[in-house]
Amino acid sequence: MSTKNGLFIWVEGSDDERFFQRIFCPLFEQQYDYTKIIKYSGENPTWQNKFLKSIVSMNANYIFTADIDRARCISTKKDYIKAKVTNIEISNIVVVIQEIESWYLAGLDDDSCKSLGIKLKESSTNLITKEDFNRLIPSNFKASRIDFMIEILNLFKIDIAKQRNSSLKYFCDKYLQE
């Protein structure tokens, strides 16, 4: 991705927005004059297409993120998005495997897991769903899922995350300049 004056990161919802704002926006500040996060869930494809056109006309760049959800593979998910948002470039779509919660957990090392009181069964978080994540929330965070997510972000280590989640590693390799 070539450096341009601005970057728009399209995310599905608030959990995604919180993650990208905290983890990736500071890293993109080195590559772009500004970074904006756009929540698109609930917006109609006509609005999305118009917004994408305006981004391109501003000579800015964009990344469109989406959870894989029920799609059988990444290319199927990208084709589904392209069918709805016709102005989008397939190469600008990043599919999160499985859901953003898997990226949150990917950045926790063993010490961080221990301090939070959680145990991950696998070293990879590729198969973690929202439901799996919710089951891991310790009792002292049951009143606030958001507080738990913020605490994870406070402990997050990007180098660990790249080892534990293949779609997060792909995102970093593709978009972050070392």
**Span 4-24, pLDDT tens digits:** 599 999 999 999 999 999 999
Rounded mean pLDDT, 62-79: 97
**Tokens linked to 85:** 């948002």
- Of 5, 7, 10, the C-alpha closest to 94 is 10
pLDDT digits (tens, 9 = 90+) for 126-150: 999 999 999 999 999 989 999 999 9
**Angle CA(37)–CA(39)–CA(42) in degrees, nearest 5?**
165
- Of 27, 70, 22, 18, the C-alpha closest to 175 is 27
Residue that has been written with the tokens 């006309």 in this structure: 57
Rounded mean pLDDT, 76-101: 97
Q: Is the pLDDT of residue 2 over 90?
A: no
